[in-house]
Amino acid sequence: MATVKYDHATRIYPGSEVPAVDKLNIEIHDGEFLVVVGPSGCGKSTALRMLAGLEEVNEGRIWIGDRDVTNLSPKDRDVAMVFQNYALYPHMTVADNMGFALKIAGVPKDEIRKRVLEAAKILDLEPYLERKPKALSGGQRQRVAMGRAIVRSPQVFLMDEPLSNLDAKLRVQTRTQIASLQRRLGVTTVYVTHDQVEAMTMGDRIALLDRGILQQVASPREMYDKPANLFVAGFIGSPAMNLVALPVSEGGADFGSHKVPIEREALERAGKTVIVGVRPEDVEVRQENDGLEIEVDVVEELGADAYVYGRPVDERIVLEGSEEGGERPFIARVDGRRVPNKGDRIFVFPKAEHLHVFHKESGERLF
Amino acid sequence: MALEITAARPDPALLDLPWSVPLEEWPEELLAAFPRGISRHVVRFVRLSGRVLAIKEIKTELARREYEMLRNLERLDLPCVEPFAIVSGRVSQDGQPLDGCLITRHLQFSLPYRALYSQSLRAGTASRLIDALAVLLVRLHLAGFWWGDVSLSNTLFRRDAGAFAAYLVDAETGELHHELTDGQREHDLEIARVNIAGELMDLEAGGLLQEDRDPVEVSERIMTRYRELWGALTDTEIVDTGERWRVDDRIRRLNALGFDVGELAMTTDIDGSTIQIQPKVVDAGHHSRRLLRLTGIDARENQARRLLNDLDSYRAALQRQGDSEESVAFDWLREVYEPLVRSVPPELRRKLEPAEFFHELLEHRWYMSEREQRDIPLSEVKEDYLRNVLPTKPDEQAVVGVDTVEMPVIVWDD
């Protein structure tokens, strides 16, 4: 087991001027489960492959424990890419299927037996060690394949979108199992995904990348409660945070007719306009004139609560992240027993204690 | 959702296959072979319009991706199975959506390694298979293709004048890059090595491996053969300005390995005393291209080498060194090759391809001559071979078998 450190690690593909990964700095703790997340093309897979030794590091260094692995070949790094296509061999016993790669690596027989037994205990495969794979269920076979990675006892597990080929139900099931297995093994793990829900539910910490640049690395809670910038605010959370550009006035910003108080120190850095963010569950809804007036377009009933999708009545106010031809709706979560109707007009404003304020130009968090 | 079939050359007969039934439950009368082994995906072989197709049930996006990848490999002239069609929008009879299908054409006269091991084998078969796989891997890597799942099971082999030629079968994990890094190549090589060792150990455990060499030791051959070939094809060589013949020599060595040099970079150092040479573009198939140009015979590299040698002997024997190569080749084809190949009775033609049959005849002539201590004409050799040898060989035109023994990528169903 070991720590992993990206130290200004940069990858520039031949023929490209823009780095695919740009001066990445992350320190991953021993035993930590770090999820690297971001939209397609953000450099997350490249970052993982740099650690695996599959992509060159053009600038900066990568450390595993106290070893500088920047120029080591993949097999000398003591990392395991898990969930690659593992074959199971029909004539070999489960024990041999799990341990044969160690034989290739020249590990003595007694040591192989010991490690296979340990892995089998963790994976609940002990009673099946002398059987052939054919006698196992699909899930047990899969665990044998997992066992192949475990017996190598690598310093780091690497997983690149391992769930992307599964259907939604299996994905939910499997991600819990991977996370709990990782915790039992305590092996430092770097896991790449494009799915922010996977990131939020699995990782000890999340690193969010956009266009090769690290946006924030933090625990899921911190990422959600204190996004470092507009990009993080818009990416983490489903449904997404409402982000509205508002004029700055004395002591705050005007959320329609509702004054949103903003600290003086933040306001001083802000300029004339700020972007105010509010998550759907942090929206206060009023019937009387207090806040931004919204016309309700769609109501999604979920039982205990409901999501209201609408748009500002004042057409000059457009939500951030809207694209040509596709305006982003304002989304509010409301009590399932007090749901407005389609076509109703309601007034909304953010709860003061869950307010996010960002700089209009730089996108940095102000408050 | 409507059933959609995408194919470069669509065959309407595809529509008659029972797409609303999960592949696993297709009726046996449709299948060209019975499935066996444990497979990662459901794969079935089906006869359709006189050809054999391999159908793999897989998520539609993956099917599409692999289809495109195989098309790209085809365009790059790399040896792989031929993509035939993608089927998407499948729905079961009770309205449930089904996975898509990737259809590839079965490669005639190709053999899965397991089928080879169920025949009685010549010594050193494992080594010859690995040599063929090393050539394939080098060619894929030169083109920027990272395979990600190199193994004997993901490869098909065709006989090639006593050796084998390897073809990529499964491109599911592959990625096409502008150029591969050393790390990517090493990773593929490590995967190959572990998979080959595993596959040979499995044959050993099943009592199918007749060689008594240790599988781990045999599997190391992929590393050495790959590195030798990669080095020969890509290394920079420094020669003295006075030794310019060594430039030609390098080209000849590459030809002997079966490669043509498309581009060779030469640079001199500052004082002009040495030249650096490095092949930049190399194309496999040096001999098979030459044979094709001279005779129109489409053969594999070693077969072509063998046939060209025979052509050269023919020319020497008739003392026609003064005639153009083309006219001699024309006569050789008409007088030697075609009559022999045509004489194979139809019921025996499913056993070997014509060029391999010719190679076998040349081998058989050598054995007969040894035995009888005299020169034996090919017509006599042919009679003996057709009577005593060919009928004992298995039919190899359409050997199919579900051969992968892999796992679903993470399915915990219990």
pLDDT values of chain A reduced to their tens digit, one per residue, 367 residues: 699 999 999 999 988 899 999 999 999 999 999 999 999 899 999 999 999 999 999 999 999 999 999 999 998 999 988 766 677 888 999 999 999 989 998 999 999 999 999 999 988 899 999 999 888 887 788 788 888 888 988 999 999 888 776 677 777 877 888 888 898 889 999 999 999 999 999 999 999 999 999 999 999 999 999 999 999 999 999 899 999 999 888 888 999 999 988 888 888 888 889 999 999 999 999 988 899 999 999 999 999 999 999 999 998 888 887 766 678 899 999 998 889 999 999 999 999 899 999 999 999 999 8
- Euclidean distance between CA atoms B229 and B127, whole angstroms: 15
Side chain identity at residue B338, one-letter code = E
pLDDT tens per residue, range A157-182? 999 888 776 677 777 877 888 888 89
Q: What is the pLDDT of residue A199?
A: 93
Q: How far is B178 from chain A (nearest CA, A)?
A: 8
CB A11 within 8 A of CB A50: yes
Nearest 5°: the CA angle B61, B65, B66 is: 120
Whether residues A177 and B172 touch (CB distance < 8 A) is answered with no
Question: In chain A, whose CA is at the least distance from the CA of B199?
Answer: A89
Q: Which residues neighbour A46 within 8 Å (Cβ) at sequence distance 6 or greater?
A: A11, A20, A21, A55, A212
B370 in contact with chain A, both atoms CB, cutoff 8 A: no
Q: What is the pLDDT of residue A317?
A: 86
- Mean pLDDT over residues B161-186, rounded? 92
Whether residues B205 and A91 touch (CB distance < 8 A) is answered with yes
Residues of B in contact with A138 (CB under 8 A): 408, 411, 413-414
pLDDT tens per residue, range B111-128? 888 888 776 566 788 889
Beta strands in B153-235 (DSSP E): 155-160, 163-168, 175-176
Q: How far is B85 from chain A (nearest CA, A)?
A: 21
Whether residues B198 and A56 touch (CB distance < 8 A) is answered with no
Three-class DSSP category at B401: coil
Q: What is the pLDDT of residue A315?
A: 86
CB A174 within 8 A of CB A163: yes
Range name among A90-94, A238-242, B176-180, B204-208 with the lowest pLDDT average: B204-208
B148 in contact with chain A, both atoms CB, cutoff 8 A: yes
β pairing state of A305-312 and A21-28: unpaired
Q: How far is A83 from chain B (nearest CA, A)?
A: 6
To test the contact with chain B by mutation, choose from A69, A77, A91 the residue with the greatest count of B C-beta atoms within 10 A, namely A91
- Euclidean distance between CA atoms B27 and A19, whole angstroms: 53
Q: What is the pLDDT of residue A163?
A: 79
Please report the ipTM that was assigned to this predicted complex: 0.79
Q: For residue A1, what are its two tokens? A: 């087991």
Residues of A in contact with B117 (CB under 8 A): none
- Mean pLDDT over residues B95-105, rounded? 93
How many residues does this entry show for chain B? Answer: 414
Confidence of residue B414 (pLDDT cuts 50, 70, 90): very low
A92 in contact with chain B, both atoms CB, cutoff 8 A: yes
- Is the pLDDT at B412 greater than 50, yes or no? no
Nearest to B38 among A83, A134, A143 (CB): A134
pTM of the full structure:
0.85
Highest mean pLDDT among A154-163, A217-226, B260-269, B364-373: A217-226
Averaged pLDDT score across all residues of chain B: 88
- Is the pLDDT at B369 greater than 80, yes or no? yes
pLDDT tens per residue, range B302-313? 999 999 999 999
Whether residues A89 and B198 touch (CB distance < 8 A) is answered with yes
Whether residues A54 and B197 touch (CB distance < 8 A) is answered with no
CB atoms within 10 A of CB B346: 6
Q: For residue A166, what are its two tokens? A: 């599964």
Q: For residue B366, what are its two tokens? A: 């050598």
What is the dihedral sign for C-alpha A52, A181, A192, A87?
Answer: positive
B24 in contact with chain A, both atoms CB, cutoff 8 A: no
Q: For residue A180, what are its two tokens? A: 């709990």
Residues of A in contact with B184 (CB under 8 A): 54-55
Q: What is the pLDDT of residue B401?
A: 61
CB A138 within 8 A of CB B413: yes
Q: What is the pLDDT of residue B1?
A: 66
Whether residues A100 and B198 touch (CB distance < 8 A) is answered with yes
Name the class of domain B4-106. Answer: alpha beta
* DSSP character at residue A77: T
B96 in contact with chain A, both atoms CB, cutoff 8 A: no
Q: Sheet holding A156-160: strands in order across?
A: A79-81, A156-160, A188-193, A33-37, A205-210, A213-218
- Is the pLDDT at B251 greater than 50, yes or no? yes
β pairing state of A156-160 and B51-58: unpaired
- Euclidean distance between CA atoms A244 and A260, whole angstroms: 12
Q: How far is B182 from chain A (nearest CA, A)?
A: 8
Q: What is the pLDDT of residue B103?
A: 96
Q: For residue B355, what are its two tokens? A: 């060029």
- Mean pLDDT over residues B398-413, rounded? 51
Residues of B in contact with A134 (CB under 8 A): 38
A53 in contact with chain B, both atoms CB, cutoff 8 A: yes
A109 in contact with chain B, both atoms CB, cutoff 8 A: no
Nearest to B194 among A96, A104, A165 (CB): A104
Three-class DSSP category at A193: strand
User: What ranges do the domains of chain B cover?
Assistant: 4-106, 111-232, 235-284, 287-392
pLDDT tens per residue, range B271-326? 888 888 888 888 899 999 999 999 999 999 999 999 999 999 999 888 888 888 89
Q: How far is A56 from chain B (nearest CA, A)?
A: 7
CB A366 within 8 A of CB A270: yes
- Compute and round to an integer the Cα radius of gyration of chain B: 24
pLDDT tens per residue, range A25-65? 999 999 999 999 999 899 999 999 999 999 999 999 999 99
Nearest to B412 among A73, A89, A142 (CB): A142
Q: In sequence order, which ranges of chain A are alpha helices (DSSP H)?
A: 44-52, 94-104, 109-122, 138-151, 168-185, 196-202, 220-225, 230-235, 264-268
Confidence of residue B262 (pLDDT cuts 50, 70, 90): confident
Nearest to B202 among A85, A90, A163 (CB): A90
Nearest to A145 among B193, B194, B407 (CB): B407
Domain topology for B111-232:
Transferase(Phosphotransferase); domain 1 (1.10.510)
Nearest to A84 among B148, B179, B216 (CB): B148
C-alpha torsion angle, residues A77, A81, A86, A89 (rounded to 10): 30
Side chain identity at residue B240, one-letter code = D
Q: Which residues neighbour B27 within 8 Å (Cβ) at sequence distance 6 or greater?
A: B18
Nearest to A88 among B182, B406, B411 (CB): B406
CB B221 within 8 A of CB B131: yes
B176 in contact with chain A, both atoms CB, cutoff 8 A: no
To test the contact with chain A by mutation, choose from B221, B404, B412, B413 the residue with the greatest count of A C-beta atoms within 10 A, namely B412
Cis omega (within 30 of 0) for bond into B27: no
